[in-house]
């Protein structure tokens, strides 16, 4: 069974993510060790909270370079919620530079009378990369669970793997670029669809491990 490193930097919903991965048949390992991240077959970067503390915690633990190295190595990588946002260059939420792995900015929802901020609850995905491994066996416009006030705005629209509409605003819900995938929603809280997404990620990891 493949080991999936779940990065611990004091900003993640780690145990819920691990429970979802275990249900999907994976062997998750919570860690902040660069060596264990390097040795794992895949890496998940979860996250809840604010942008600046997240990148500060990552850097204080010396995890920025191991994360970049894991992505550049070609091993499957999945960011979740704040773990998506900190992959970008900057955020309107704070002043710290992001990891800059994906070009673009994290932006705040524009206030509208008919919408709530944060965007919280169930909403439907509009898939823009049907071939992305995360979406296999999902029903059309699958319902997933969101909690966020900010959304990513990639410079290259081709990295968008799914969008979601909140009020009149259609924003990025997921990105995918080769082995790097990341989602704004919480698959570990998204019932059947979320478990399928995690299972798809696990299956991709298993397919890359030599027999």
Task: Give the model confidence (pLDDT) of 31-76 as tens digits.
Answer: 999 999 999 999 999 999 999 999 999 999 999 999 999 999 999 9
Is the separation of the CB atoms in 181 and 133 below 8 Å? Answer: yes
Residue tagged active-site, from 81, 119, 132, 166: 81
Strands 42-45 and 3-7: parallel
- Alpha-carbon span 86 to 16, nearest angstrom: 20
Q: Please tell me whether residue 115 adopts helix, strand or coil conformation.
A: coil
Tokens coding 95: 């002043």
Q: How many Å is the Cα radius of gyration of the chain? A: 16
The catalytically annotated residue of 18, 119, 132, 188 is 188
Residue with more model confidence, 114 or 185:
185
3-state secondary structure of 77: strand
In the annotation, is 81 catalytic?
Answer: yes
Per-residue pLDDT averaged across 167-177, rounded? 97
Closest CA relative to residue 83, chosen from 165, 13, 19, 177: 13
188 is catalytic: yes
Checking if the pLDDT of 208 tops 90, the result is no
Q: Residue 81 CA to chain centroid, in angstroms? A: 5
Task: For residue 44, give the H/E element and its range.
Answer: strand 42-45
Among residues 125, 124, 129, which one has the least CA distance to residue 161?
129
**Architecture, CATH, for domain 3-208:** 3-Layer(aba) Sandwich (3.40)
CB 162 within 8 A of CB 174: yes
pLDDT value for 211? 59
Q: For 131-170, how does the pLDDT look when each residue is reduced to its tens digit (9 = 90+)?
A: 999 999 999 999 999 999 999 999 999 999 999 999 999 9
Does pLDDT of 207 surpass 80? yes
Question: Of residues 57, 148, 166, 186, which has the active-site annotation?
Answer: 186
> Where in the chain are the domains?
3-208
38, 31 in Cβ contact below 8 A?
A: no
- Give the containing element (helix H, strand E) for 135: none
For the chain, give the mean pLDDT.
96
């Amino acid at each position: 069974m493949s080991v999936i490193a779940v990065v611990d930097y004091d900003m993640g919903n780690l145990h819920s993510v691990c429970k979802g991965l275990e249900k999907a048949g994976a062997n998750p390992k919570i860690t902040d060790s660069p060596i264990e991240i390097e040795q794992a077959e895949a890496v998940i970067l979860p996250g809840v909270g604010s942008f600046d503390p997240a990148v500060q915690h990552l850097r204080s633990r010396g995890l920025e370079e191991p994360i970049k190295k894991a992505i550049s190595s070609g091993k499957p990588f999945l960011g979740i919620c704040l773990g998506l946002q900190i992959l970008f260059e900057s955020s309107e939420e704070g002043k710290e530079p992001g990891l800059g792995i994906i070009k673009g900015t994290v932006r705040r929802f524009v206030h509208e009378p008919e919408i709530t901020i944060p965007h919280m609850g169930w909403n439907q995905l509009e898939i823009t990369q049907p071939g992305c491994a995360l979406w296999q066996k999902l029903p059309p416009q699958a319902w997933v669970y969101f909690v966020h006030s900010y959304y990513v705005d990639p410079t290259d629209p081709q990295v968008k793997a799914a969008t979601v509409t909140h009020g009149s605003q259609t924003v990025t819900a997921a990105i995918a670029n080769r082995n790097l995938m990341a989602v704004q929603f919480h698959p570990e809280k998204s019932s059947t669809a979320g478990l399928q997404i995690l299972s798809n990620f696990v299956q991709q990891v298993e397919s890359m491990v030599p027999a």
